């Protein structure tokens, strides 16, 4: 059986201020409707990557600001419950975020124009994807590379992949399933909870699952 190798990539993001800011929920919704997709990506997906050494209360910058600046904890919890693994496009994530905020503001009109302690400054990012020199031809190769590849590469293949592929999986599981025919291993990697663990802890879990697979 011919195996398609796994090529490891990494990504870097150039971040810039958009010059837009929100002081309350009404302004936040207005900006969410017209901001670029890269701004949504930055404040939800990249923020998770850049805080990979610690687990914040909320993975989304939007939920974090609503909690700490507006003190609208029920709304922050609803936004925080959005699982980025459920979304395969920025558009659907944007629509769900706006819907949750608008429903909350409709239910609690006094929250709509309540001034935050600090403004929410919108940023956006431009992703630069670069190949690494790492290639895996089999599970043993993959195990060796995962142990030493940069953390941004893990984020790129495990989390950003959903938006790129437009399907509910990640690059690792896709390769395990499609090229190595290892359905159980693919499923285990998909089952890793990215919210309960830092990316370094996720690396260890991936290594553990591969070790188990190689022993079987």
- For 88-102, write each residue's pLDDT tens digit: 888 999 999 999 999
Cα(18)–Cα(118) distance, rounded to whole angstroms?
17
Cα(180)–Cα(190) distance, rounded to whole angstroms?
16
Q: Strand, helix or coil at 195?
A: coil
Q: Look at residue 26 in the predicted model and tell me its pLDDT.
A: 97
Cα(84)–Cα(61) distance, rounded to whole angstroms?
13
Q: How much of the chain exceeds pLDDT 90, in percent?
A: 68
User: For the ranges 2-16, 156-170, 180-194, which has the lowest average pLDDT?
Assistant: 156-170
pLDDT at 164 over 80: no
In 10 A of CB 140, how many CB atoms?
Answer: 11
Q: Find the distance separating the first CA and the last CA of the chain, reported in whole Å.
A: 20
Cα(73)–Cα(163) distance, rounded to whole angstroms?
28
User: For the ranges 24-28, 109-113, 114-118, 159-163, which has the lowest average pLDDT?
Assistant: 159-163
Q: Domain boundaries in the chain?
A: 6-11+131-215, 12-124
Give how far Cα 20 sits from Cα of 36, 115, 158, 159, Å. Answer: 11, 16, 30, 27
Question: For residue 216, which of 191, 180, 171, 190 has the smallest C-alpha distance?
Answer: 180
Looking at every residue in the chain, the average pLDDT score rounds to 90
Write the DSSP assignment of 90-153 as a string of letters. HHHHHHHHHHHHHHHHHH-GGGTTPPPSS-EEEEEEEEEEEEEEEEESSHHHHHHHHTTS-HHH
Segment 113-119 mean pLDDT = 96
């Amino acid at each position: 059986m011919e195996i398609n190798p796994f090529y490891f990539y990494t990504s870097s993001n150039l971040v810039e201020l958009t010059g837009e800011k929100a002081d309350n929920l009404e302004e936040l919704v207005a900006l969410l409707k017209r901001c670029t997709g890269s701004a949504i990506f930055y404040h939800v997906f990249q923020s998770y990557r850049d805080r990979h050494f610690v687990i914040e209360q909320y993975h989304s910058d939007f939920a974090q600001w609503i909690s700490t600046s507006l003190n609208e904890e029920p709304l922050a919890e609803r936004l925080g419950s959005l699982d980025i693994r459920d979304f395969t496009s920025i558009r659907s994530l944007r629509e769900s975020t706006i819907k949750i905020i608008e429903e909350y503001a409709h239910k609690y009109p006094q929250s709509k124009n309540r001034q935050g302690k600090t403004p929410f400054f919108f940023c956006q990012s431009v992703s630069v994807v670069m190949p690494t020199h790492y290639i895996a031809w089999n599970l043993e190769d993959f195990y060796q590379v995962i142990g030493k590849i940069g953390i941004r590469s893990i984020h790129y293949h495990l989390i950003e992949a959903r938006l790129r592929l437009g399907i509910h999986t990640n690059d690792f599981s896709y390769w395990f399933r499609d090229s190595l025919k290892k359905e159980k291993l693919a499923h285990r990697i998909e089952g890793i909870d990215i919210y309960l663990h830092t990316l370094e802890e996720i690396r260890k879990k991936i290594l553990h699952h591969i070790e188990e697979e190689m022993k079987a």
